[in-house]
Structure 1
Amino acid sequence: MIRPNKYYSELKDSYLFYNIAQKTKAYVEQHPGTKLLRMGIGDVSLPLCDAVIRALHEAVDDQASKSSFHGYMPECGASFLREKIAEHYEKRGVSLSADEVFVSSGASDELGDILDLFERSSSALVIEPAYPAYVDANVMAGRKIVHLSSSEENNFLPEPGEDIKADLLYICSPNNPTGAVFSREQLQAWVDFANENGSVILFDAAYEAFIEDETLPHSIFELDGAKTCAIEICSLSKTAGFTGTRLGYTVIPKALKRNGMNLNEMWIRNRTTKTNGVSYIIQKGGAAVFTEEGQRQIHENIQIYKRNAKILMKALDQIGIWYCGGKNAPYIWMRCPKGMKSWEFFDYLLHKIQVVGTPGEGFGAAGEGYFRFSTFGSPEDTKEAAERIVTLFSK
C-alpha cells in the first residue's frame, strides 16, 4: 500500500489567509450589503503598467505568426529576460552573469521548490514573525525548523548568535509581515555568520522595490561575501503588479558551493528536469518591467501604495498606537491596543468598523499581540479605513 507524506499531518489545520477568508465570508453573509474594507491580504489593486501591457499584446501577436511563434521556452528563462535582470542588478553595483539568473513563475513557488537542493536532514532557521509558507514548506519536507523570535526590543531585526545552529537561514527584507528592513551592517552580520558556519541564506527580496532609504540594501549581493552563501528569490508580484500574471526570478551565484557541489549547476539540472519554463508571453511582459519606461511606470504605482502607507501611519500616530514598517515596505505592523490578542483584535475591527487586517499570531508565536495592515488597497478604501480607525479609537 502506498504511504502518503506523513509530515502533512504536522501542518496547522488551515492556512492563515484561508481562515481570514472564512471569517469575512461568514460576516458578509450575516450582514448583507455591508462595505468591508480589506487591508489584510497583500494583493495589489492597480493594473499592470502601460509598458507591460503593450509588451504582452505584442507577444500575443507574435504567437499568431509562424515566423515569430514561440513554443517551449528555455527552462531556466529566456535570455532576453535574464540579461535584462542582470543589467538591472548592475545598476545597483551588483555584477551578475545572465546564467546566474533563473526565471520562475513567482517567488512563492520558488521558495518551496528551492528546497530540492538540500537534504531533508538539513535544518531551517525561520525568523519570526514570518511568512507562513517558510514554515509550512519545511514541515512538508520533514525538516527540522529552528524558530528565532524577534520583537520590538530589536525592532524585529534579530542578530545571529553563537547559539544558533541551522543550515538554511530564511531572511526577508523588507520583511513580511513587519515591514522592518535590515541595514547593511545587520545584513553583513548574517552573511558573515552563514559563511563561517557553512549555512545558506534564502533571501526573500519580494519587496525590495519599496525601499526609499538608499542607505538600505535592496539585494543581499550588495554585501561582501554573499555570493558564497546566499540565494536571492525575487518577485514581480508587488513590484510590478504581477500577482495574477505570475513571474519572478531567482539568483544563484556560480560561486555558491557546498560539499563539493555547485548549487547553480544543481538548479539548472532541477529546472531542466521539473519545468518547461515560463511562457514567452509572460516573459516578454516581464522584460518590459526592466526598461526605462517600465521602471518609471511601476514606481509611479508603488508611490500610490506608499501614500496609502502614509495615510495609515498618520492615523496610528494620531491615536498613539506603536507600529513599524510602512516607510520602506508595503506593510504596517502595529501593536494591538488594550492588550488584545491578535485574533481578538481582528474580530473587533471586523465587527466594529468592518475593516479587515491580518492577525499577527498567524505569522508565528512571536506575532501574537500584533496586527498587519497591507497598503495595497485603493487610495479611497485606505482613506476610509484610516478614518474609521481614528473614529473608533478616539471615542
Structure 2
Amino acid sequence: MITNQNFGEIPQSYLFSEVAERVRRFEAQHPEARVLRLGIGDVTRPLAPAVVDALHAAVDEQAVAASFQGYGPEAGYAFLREAIAAGEYAAIGVDVSPDEIFIGDGSKSDSANIQELFADTARVAVTDPVYPVYVDSNAMAGRLGTFDGERWSELTYLRCDDTNEYRPALPAEPVELVYLCSPNNPTGTTMSREDLTAWVAYAREAGAVILFDVAYRAFITGDDVPRSIYEIEGADEVAIEFGSFSKTAGFTGLRCSWTVVPQKLRRDGVSLNALWLRRQSTKFNGTPYIVQRAASATYSATGREQVRADVDYYLANARLIRSTLESAGVAAVGGEHSPYVWFRCPGGMDSWEFFDVLLAEAQIVGTPGVGFGPAGAGHFRLSAFNTSEATQEAAGRLAALLPRLAA
C-alpha cells in the first residue's frame, strides 16, 4: 500500500467545492438567473493603485539585469519583513522582530502546513464551528482518528454558539495544539483581551501551542479588540500567529501572507522558529519578488489610505447584511469587526436546506454552517465581499424572502 490512507478518512468534498458545484448546476438549469454570491470570502474590489504601481515598478526591475531578482530568501525579503514588523506590530505597541516573520503565499497554506512541526500524536483542539483547513490538514496527517460523518474521534471540539457568546471554553482534556481565529471565520465574532489572557495562561501552564489566525485583523474597529495575540504578555512563549494580505488588500489572487514564530517559542528544547525556517527552506521557494513589493506598498501612507477605504467598503456591506437579517427577525452576529455575518437558519431549516431555498428562491449564494463543524448545523454564513450594488440587491431579496421563511 503506497497511498496516504488518511486522505480516505476525510470527507470527499471540500465545503466550498460542494457550494460551487451546486451553484454550477443551478446556473446550468437557469441560465437567465442573476445569481448574487455572498458565499466564499473572495474580494471584488480591484487592487489599490499604490499596489498596482508597485507591481509595475517591480516588473520593470525584472526586465533589467542590474535589478533582476531570481530566487529570493525562503523566509521573505527583508524589506517586507521589516515593513510588517513596523506596520502591523510596532504600530500597536508590540515588539516582533523581522527575523520572527516569515512571508508565505497565503494564510491557508501557512495554517495548514504549520502542523508539520508537531508530532503525529499531538492532541488538537479547534473552536466549533471552525475554518475547515485547520481540521482537514491535521486529518491528512493522521492526528484525528476516524470520522463518523459529523465528528473526528480524536479531535477536541470547543463549541461556540449563542449560549456562550461564541467564546470557546478552555479544554477540559489535555491538548497540545489549539487553533483560534479572531475575528473569527466563520462566525465574525471576536475574542476580547480577557479571553486571550486566559488562553495564554492556559497554554503556558499546559505547555500547549496556540495557532492564532488574524487574517481579518484589518476589519477590527476601535481599540477594545486585540489585533494580535502578542498584545498579551507571555504570548511570545506559546503562540504562532498567521496574517494575510488577502482580505486586507485584496491579494486573494496575488497570494501573500506572513507567519510570526517567536524566538522565545520552544518545545522539547527545540526552537520552533528554527523548525519553521527549516521546513520553508526545504519545501518553499518563497513568495514572488513582485508580490512582496506589492505587499510592502500597503504600508506607505497612500497605500494605507487606499486599502483602508476598501476595508470600510466591505464593512458597510456587512452592516447592511446584518441589519437586513435583524429587521426580518433573524438574530445574527458578526459584521461589526468582520466581513462575515452568522445566523441560525430561519424556520428551523438545516444548513443545506436553507442553502438550496436561498439559491432557488432568491438566487443568493451563501455558505452552509454545517460545513464548518457540528456546531454549525442549522446555521449559515453570508459574506460582505461582493460589490455594494450586489449587496444592496441581495439585501432587498433577503428582506422579501426571510419573513415568509421565518413564519
Q: What secondary structure sits across from 1:164 in the alignment?
A: coil
1:43 counterpart residue number? 42
Per-residue CA shift, 1:109-136, capped at 9, x if unaligned?
Answer: 1111111111111111111100111110
Tell me the secondary structure at the aligned position of residue 163 of structure 2.
Answer: helix
Q: Is the 8 A contact 1:330 1:375 kept in 2?
A: yes
Conservation of the 8 A alpha-carbon contact between 1:86 and 1:98: yes
Does the 8 Å contact 1:342/1:361 carry over to 2? Answer: yes
Q: How far apart are residue 102 of structure 1 and its match?
A: 0.3
Matched residue count:
393
Deviation at 1:263, TM superposition (A): 0.5
Contact 1:84–1:290, Cα closer than 8 Å, also in 2: yes
Task: Say whether 1:250 aligns with 2:259.
Answer: yes
Equivalent residue, structure 2, for 1:169: 178
Question: What SS does structure 2 have at the residue aligned with 1:40?
Answer: coil
What SS is found at the alignment partner of 1:215? coil
Q: 1:153 — aligned with what?
A: 163
Give the root-mean-square deviation of aligned CA atoms. Answer: 0.9
Structure 2 residue aligned with 1:133: 133
- Report the AA paired with residue 328 of structure 1: H
Aligned-partner residue type, residue 91 of structure 1: A
Write the distance in 1 (CA, Å) between the matches of 2:134 and 2:245. Answer: 19
Alignment of 1:28-39 (within 5 A): 28-39=27-38
Which aligned pairs between 1:208-219 and structure 2 lie closer than 5 A? 208-219=217-228
Partner of 1:239: 248
- Residue 347 of structure 1 pairs with residue 346 of structure 2: no
TM-score by length of 1: 0.98
Map of 1:79 onto structure 2: 78
Q: Secondary structure at the match of 2:178?
A: strand
Q: How many angstroms does 1:276 deviate by?
A: 1.4
Give how far 1:267 is off.
1.2
SS in 2 for 1:146: strand
Does residue 303 of structure 1 match 2:312? yes
Q: Distance in 1 between matches of 2:278 and 2:359?
A: 48
1:77-102 CA deviation, whole Å, 9 max, x = no partner?
A: 00000000011110101111110000
Return 5+ residue gaps in structure 2 as ranges. Answer: 145-154
- Residues 90, 96 of structure 1: 8 Å contact kept: yes
Q: Is the 8 A contact 1:159 1:190 kept in 2?
A: no
| Alpha-carbon offset, residue 213 of structure 1 | 2.9
Aligned residue for 1:148, secondary structure, equals strand
**Counterpart-to-counterpart distance in 1, 2:115 and 2:378:** 31
CA contact (8 A) 2:158 2:169 kept: no
Match of 2:118 in 1: 118
Offset, 1:357: 0.4
1:263 paired with 2:289, answer: no
Q: Report the Cα distance in structure 1 between the residues aligned to 2:402 and 2:318, rounded to whole angstroms.
A: 19
Q: How does 1:286-301 map to 2 (within 5 A)?
A: 286-301=295-310
SS of corresponding position for 1:243: coil
CA distance in 2 between partners of 1:164 and 1:210 (Å): 33
Match of 1:229 in 2: 238
SS at match of 2:333: strand
Which residue of the partner structure matches residue 92 of structure 1? 92
Q: What is the TM-score of this pair, normalised by structure 2?
A: 0.95
SS in 2 for 1:171: strand
Map of 1:325 onto structure 2: 334
- The alpha-carbon deviation at position 394 of structure 1 amounts to 3.8
Residue in 2 that maps onto 1:103:
103
Q: Is contact 1:159-1:189 (8 Å) kept?
A: no
AA at the equivalent of 2:110: E
What secondary structure does 2:92 align onto?
coil
Q: Deviations over 1:49-76 (max 9, x none)?
A: 0111000000000000011111110010
CA distance in 2, matches of 1:322, 1:213: 23
Deviation string for 1:162-193 (max 9, x for gaps)? x1321100000000000010000011111110
Q: 3-state DSSP class of the match of 2:211?
A: strand
